[in-house]
Amino acid sequence: MPQPLFILCPPRSYSSIVCAMLGQHPQCYGLPELNLFLGDTLGDIWYGTMFMRSFGKHGLLRTLAQLHDGEQTEDSVIRAQAWIEARLGWPIAKVLAHIQECVGDRILIDKSPSTLFRQEAVARVLLNYPEANLLHLTRHPRGTSESVIALREGHEGLKTLNRVLDDNDRSDPERMWRLSHELVLTMTAGLPLGNYMRLKGEWLMSNLSVYLPQICDWLDIRSDAAAIDAMMHPETSPYACPGPANAPRGNDPNFLENPRLDTARLAKLREPTLDGELSWKPGAHFDPRTVHLAKRLGYA
C-alpha cells in the first residue's frame, strides 16, 4: 500500500481546498479531518478532548459512513458510531489501515489541523508513518489570522469554542500560527530528502497549473491533463458538502459551504505585509518572534 500524505499547517491555510483538490487525483483519496493523532488509541481520541466530543469527531464518522455504506446519512453515521464504539481499543494506525484497505491502493490524504495542537500528536505521525510524505503548507500570518477571526465571527459553534479557549490564552491567531509552524519545523528537521515539501499556499493557489504537476511529480503519481483536470474540481469530493444532521462538519465550514475553485479570484491572490497594525488587535503589531519566523518562511 502507498504511504499516506499528511498536510501540516494551522487552520485557515488553504488546507481544506488543497486536500480536496489532491484527493480528486485518480490515485489519491482526500479525507475529511480525522483528528486521529490526538491519542494512541481510538478510545483515547474519541473521549479525550472537548474538541472531539463536539464537531471534531464528524470527519471520522463521515469517512466510515461513506466507506462502509457508500453514503453519508443519519443511519450510516449511527452505524459508523457503533463500529467505533466496538473498537475503542484499536491503535490509531490500525484505524487508518482499515481506511486504507477500504480505499485500496490510492494515497490517503489527511489535513487535520489538530495534528499541530500538541507536539505528541506530530510525534505520533512520525512514529507510525516514518516513510509518509509531509506537505508543510504555509500562509502569511496576517492572512491566516484575519481569516481565523472572520471564521470565528461567522459561525456560532466556533464562537463557543473560542470563549473556552480565551480562558487560557490559546485563541490568539498570531500565537497559534507561530507555535504551529515552529512545531512543524522542529519535528521535521532531519527528515530524509523527498519525504517533506514546504510550499506557500499563496503560490500554490494562484498558480495551480504550475504547482499541481510539481506535487504530482513529488508523489510519483500521474501529472497528465486528465489527472490535473480532476484535481481542479474539489467540489466532487464526497466530503465537499455538509454531512447529515448527526455529523454535519468534518472540515472547514466555509469550504463545506463553497468548495468550488474561483480561479479568477485566486489568480489575483497577493501576500500581505508584516508591517503595520493588526486589524484584530488595535494598536498592536506582530510579535518579533512572528516576524522572524515569517521571514524564515519567505514572507515580508
Task: Please name the amino acid found at residue 36.
Answer: L
Task: Please name the amino acid found at residue 35.
Answer: N
Most distant CA pair in the chain, distance: 53
pLDDT value at 267 more than 80? yes
Contacts of 257 (CB under 8 A, 6+ apart): 242
Q: How far apart are alpha carbons 121 and 136 in whole angstroms? A: 15
> What pLDDT is attached to residue 83?
98
pLDDT value at 44 more than 60? yes
pLDDT value at 158 more than 70? no
The string of DSSP letters for the chain reads: -PPPEEEE--SSSSHHHHHHHHHTSTTEEE-----GGGSSBHHHHHTT-HHHHTGGGHHHHHHHHHHHHSS--HHHHHHHHHHHHTTTTSBHHHHHHHHHHHHTTSEEEE--GGGGTSHHHHHHHHHH-TT-EEEEEE--HHHHHHHHHHHHHH-HHHHHHHHHHHTTT---HHHHHHHHHHHHHHHHTTPPTTSEEEEEHHHHHH-HHHHHHHHHHHHT---SHHHHHHHT-GGGSTTSS---TTS--SS-HHHHH--S--HHHHHT-----S-S-BTTBTT----HHHHHHHHHTT--
Percent of the chain with pLDDT over 70: 95
Closest C-alpha among 6, 257, 261, 268 to residue 129: 6
**What domains does the chain contain, in order, with CATH numbers?**
5-297 (3.40.50.300)
Question: Beta 196-200 vs 107-110: how paired, if at all?
Answer: unpaired
Lowest mean pLDDT among 71-75, 185-189, 228-232, 244-248: 185-189
Q: Which three cell numbers stand for residue 127?
A: 512514529
> What pLDDT is attached to residue 52?
80
Indicate the pLDDT class of residue 160, thresholds 50, 70 and 90.
low
Tell me the average pLDDT across 94-120: 95
Lowest mean pLDDT among 44-53, 177-186, 193-202, 244-253: 44-53
Task: Please name the amino acid found at residue 110.
Answer: D
Helix 119-128 to helix 173-188 angle, to the nearest 10 degrees? Answer: 30
Lowest mean pLDDT among 41-55, 147-161, 264-278: 147-161
Q: Look at 263 and 74; give whichever has higher pLDDT.
A: 74
Tell me the average pLDDT across 93-104: 98
pLDDT value at 132 more than 70? yes
Q: How far apart are alpha carbons 283 and 285 in whole angstroms? A: 7
Indicate the pLDDT class of residue 286, thresholds 50, 70 and 90.
very high
Q: pTM of the full predicted structure?
A: 0.93
> What pLDDT is attached to residue 157?
61
Indicate the pLDDT class of residue 53, thresholds 50, 70 and 90.
confident
Cβ neighbours of 112 (radius 10 Å):
27
> What pLDDT is attached to residue 3?
96
Indicate the pLDDT class of residue 49, thresholds 50, 70 and 90.
confident
Tell me the average pLDDT across 40-62: 90
Q: How far apart are alpha carbons 193 and 149 in whole angstroms? A: 36
pLDDT (tens digit, 9 = 90+) per residue, 204-232? Answer: 999 999 999 999 999 999 999 999 999 99
